[in-house]
Amino acid sequence: MKNSDAISIVFISIIVIIIITTFGDASTYVSFSEAKSMLNAGNTSKIHVVGKLNKNEKNEIQGLTNSENRLSFSFDMIDEKGIKEKIFYDEPMPFDFLLSEQIVVIGSYNSERFVANKILLKCPSKYTENNIKM
Amino acid sequence: MFTVGNIGHFFVVASFVFSLVFFISFLISEKSKNKIEWFKFASLSFYIHALFVVGVISAIYYLIINNKFEYYYAFQHSSKSLPIYFKISSFWEGQEGSFLLWIFWNVVIGFVFINKPISKWTTSIMVVLGVIQLFLTSMVLGVVLFDIKIGSSPFILLKDAISAPIFQLNPSFVPEDGTGLNPLLQNYWMVIHPPTLFLGFAVCVIPFSYAISSLRLGDYTGWIKPAKKSLIISTIILGIGIMMGAYWAYETLNFGGYWNWDPVENAVYVPWLFLVASFHSIVLTQKNKDNYKLSLILSILSFILILYSTFLTRSGILGDSSVHSFTDLGLSGQLLLFLLSFILISIYLLFKRWNEIPSSKKEKRKYSAEFWLFIGIFTLLLMSFQVIFPTSIPVYNAIIEFFGGFSNIAPPVEKELFYSNAQIWFASIIAVISGIAQVLWWRGKRGKQIISLFSRPLILSMITSSSIILLYPVNNISYMVLLFCSCFSIFSNGSVLLYFFKSKNFVSSASISHVGLATMLIGILFSSGYSSIVSKNYTGLVWNNDFPDEVNQNNMLLFINENRNIGNYKVSYLGERKKIVGSSEMINNNHIEYVPILDKFILKKNLFLGKKNYNENDTIELENKNISFFEIEFSDENNNVFTLYPKVQMDPNSDMIVFSPDVENNITEDLYVHVRTFPDPEQEIIWRDKDSLLVKMNETFFLNDYVSVVEKVIRKNDVNTNNRFEVEISIKVLANNQEYIARPVYIIEDNKVGLIPDIIDDLGIKIYLSEIIPETQNFKIIFQTTQKNWVIIEAVQKPFINLLWLGFFILLLGLILALFKTKKRFINAI
């Protein structure tokens, strides 16, 4: 066998390994109800849930509780299927959190509570309609 | 109507049109009989294009610097209070500005090429540059054609961008102030990092254009030398840009690291690895007159990957997986078109020329430097693939959904571990190969026994790495491997340097770069792998039951002026500080008083600060009233004292707090300190019961154990307002080796008494002047105390992080030497 063939074989097999491990370690985007049923099926892996803050008609955020000294907080999130869930997060509120138009929480159910390990935000270009401060 | 906005927009359209003109005329110049005339015309149109680009940028700066908040771009990215250097950087906070930055650097590059002697290469490169400018300027065009919006103009008026109700009431409404620059970006690195990065992007155009021109012209040898030089330059500049970003993250963000494997970071890391791979490939091509195909493909791919990363970060496709990508401006279609056009053009040219490109079927000897260089290149490619493949997960979802399918794959949850655990092995392989290939490259042909060349580096690296492993101790297999491989790289590349140093007046720039890389790897290994929290809570107290466990266990509560031990340091929190304009020193928060009516701060006492005398009641201008510094003094066992100022910035626009660390740089380690929490200024303070005292002017008394004296009485109201009597007394309080001043006020108006207390935060004391008794010349003072001021900090040790920066500088030195060498070839090289 020529060297170049051997190199190609090794090269391709490493690529295959990378692809397999990527999908092996990849998480999934699910809704809260799917996450619950995953938990009931004994799957405790961490998942991504995409959703929004719970806002009323006046655009006020509902269900947000900041701990004393702002080191942790919890909030209500509505997922893409419209299901509301309380999220607990053991970190200070991320920058721009209240302005976010979309939130991704990465975490899992921990005895009925959804505990987030990470929160990703999608922010509008800072200020949207009706938001000019006088 | 000649408004700046209209003129600016005209400039944008004109620069777009002229990029088309210069592209087409350079194209004609290639084929035409009147080459020179066409070239001259094309050059002229390029200069006009350049002029308009500069015009666009000047117009935006005009809007930003003059606070023209009726324009959306200025409103959105700037504000009145920003100092000039942050106004400069607010230009590239938005997508439009950063596109323009890229366009500007491309213009500079065009400038360099157009002034070279006219050749088929110059013309062809200008053609390629023309296409790129055409696409890039279209991104800021802001024109609607057949209901399709092309580009996003930076000259949109606020009222057209935002449909706020205020504009229905008053169409000519102009907001008082802009929404300002994101506080995270208010950092000097953000003034210089983006221009460097985009210059790096722009320089990558050169090797790409050379490769494309090589295919277009069917000349496969003429491009190698200049492309090699430009590859080195782009590796240097993009590398500097990346490291600046890393240092900014280390210094500003409080996650405690310089690299987070965020998609945005990955999107520049991968093209950089490709640049390195193509540089090595082109070195092989230059030496052996072989391997043209790989060099062409890699030079093209490096730029395509930059376009791909532009697409990833700007199309909004990463929205769910990245913390700091841009938001979608509706440009995703255009970006995709840009990317796909370049991919298709490249593929077409490669296919067309594939059989013409010279190649040899010669098998590489297993013990030749070429063979190992080749393996190294492939390792770099695999290393890149391991990063870019998972980073692209959102793209797969989008593609599957585009074809009507459903996919919900998300990126790996523990992305730091996912990437680091794989990259560490690739890095180890790269380190070893860099050593082997260098030694063989320079010394492999000298007839010596090959094994003997490696015996000394091998033995030395085994001794060094195993002693470090045992002494430190390193207890993780992959860390041990990386350490050994890096040591091997240092010793084997070092042996080459030593060999040349002894025998010839010659330096191997590659060996220097490789030593630098290996040093960086060791720095990364220790600073990331062995970063340790020194602020462990050993007191047995729980700071607060509401805190997460992690905070109670890993962070230290410091009361003001009380010593605590953190690691080997004696630590004392000295209070909150503010930065004054025009002074290098900071001022104690307690010595200034906010006057709301004037929106100004005045001094409560005479002060000598930063070689300048300030008097009581002088107005003090703060750099930013929303930024507080927490002065924390550390002294080690040898009584070396240093002070750190971790920073907290409250952003009134978003009601958010940004905690930034301060770092003490030592040779062997960094001490990285940031505030976790501090008394919330908005929270109500619980005061204890009141105490009262009767004191006379200039008579010493004890105020909660602090020696105090009433120094001054000031009648504050003017005589004309008869029914109002207002008196302020100035009380000097001696504590913590300094003088504090409290200035409570006593008011009688229409027979009603009002008391305005003053608070000395540092001492946790609130003082009222409750009565003035003229008969006995006594003042009745009431005071209340509360918990002393405090702060909770986290302190982290980052061992050997300096090796990372040092290694990077060595790497740069090697690359710069290589640049010098391609210009002036050494006779005895090779």
Complex confidence, ipTM: 0.79
Per-residue model confidence (pLDDT) at position B828: 38
Most A CBs within 10 Å: which of B374, B396, B413, as the mutation test of the A interface? Answer: B413
Instruction: Please name the residues between 89 and 108 in chain B that touch chain A, using a CB distance below 8 Å.
Output: 94
Task: Give bridge partners of residue B352 from the DSSP assignment.
Answer: none
Q: How far apart are CA B653 and CA A94, in angstroms?
A: 14
CB proximity B377 to A under 8 Å: no
| Phi–psi pair at B406, nearest 5 degrees | -135, 130
B375–chain A Cβ distance below 8 A for any pair: yes
Whether the predicted pLDDT of A34 surpasses 80? yes
B152 in A contact zone (CB under 8 Å) = no
Count of residues in chain A: 134
Inter-chain residue contact A97 with B656, CB threshold 8 Å: yes
Tell which phi-psi region holds residue B540, choosing left (phi > 0), alpha (psi between -120 and 50) or beta: left
Q: Residue B282's pLDDT is what? A: 92
CA distances from B647 to B188, B578, B593, B760 (A): 15, 10, 20, 21
Long-range contacts of B666-670 (CB under 8 A, 24+ apart): B667/B802, B668/B799, B668/B800, B668/B802, B669/B797, B669/B798, B669/B799, B669/B800, B669/B801, B670/B527, B670/B797, B670/B798, B670/B801, B670/B802
Q: Which of A75, A98, A66, A110 is closest to B546 using CA atoms?
A: A66
Interface test with A, best of B75, B182, B323 (most A CBs within 10 A): B323
Residue B658 to residue A95, Cβ atoms within 8 A: yes
pLDDT number for residue B826? 43
Q: Do A70 and B184 touch (CB under 8 A)?
A: no
pLDDT given at position B721: 62
B94, B385, B390 member nearest A15 (Cβ): B385
Q: Do B412 and A25 touch (CB under 8 A)?
A: yes
CATH architecture assignment, domain A28-122: Beta Barrel (2.40)
- For A98, nearest residue in chain B (alpha carbons): B654
Per-residue pLDDT, averaged over A26-44, amounts to 81
CB atoms within 10 A of CB B341: 13
B264 contacts on A by Cβ (under 8 Å) = none
Q: Are A124 and B327 inside 8 Å of each other by CB? A: yes
**What is the mean pLDDT of each successive set of 10 residues along chain B, which is 830 residues long?**
84 92 91 85 92 93 87 84 84 87 94 87 91 92 79 83 73 77 78 90 93 91 89 94 90 75 88 95 87 92 92 77 57 87 94 84 73 91 94 87 82 85 94 91 72 86 92 89 95 89 77 94 91 83 74 85 87 89 82 82 82 82 86 89 89 72 87 85 77 86 86 73 79 85 85 85 86 84 86 89 93 90 45
> Which residues in A lie closer than 8 A to residue B411 (C-beta atoms)?
26-27
The residue among A27, A117, A119 with the most chain B CBs within 10 A of its CB, best to mutate, is A27
Peptide bond preceding B646 in cis form (omega within 30 of 0): no
Residue A81 has pLDDT above 90, yes or no: no
Q: In the beta sheet, which residues pair with residue B535?
A: none
Q: What is the pTM of this model?
A: 0.88
Nearest CA in chain A to B325: A122
CB B741 within 8 A of CB B604: yes
Which distant-in-sequence residues (6+ apart) come within 8 Å of B250 by Cβ? B257, B258, B663
Q: If we measure between CA atoms, which residue out of A131, A51, A39 comes closest to residue B320?
A: A51
Q: Which of B76, B158, B656 sits opposite A95 (nearest CB)?
A: B656
Phi and psi (nearest 5°) for B593? -130, 135
pLDDT at B654: 61
Alpha helix (H) residue ranges in chain A: 3-25, 32-40
The confidence score (pLDDT) of residue B322 equals: 54
Report pLDDT for A132: 44
Q: How many CB atoms lie within 10 A of CB B664?
A: 15
d(CA B248, CA B491): 32
Q: How far apart are the first and last CA of chain B?
A: 67
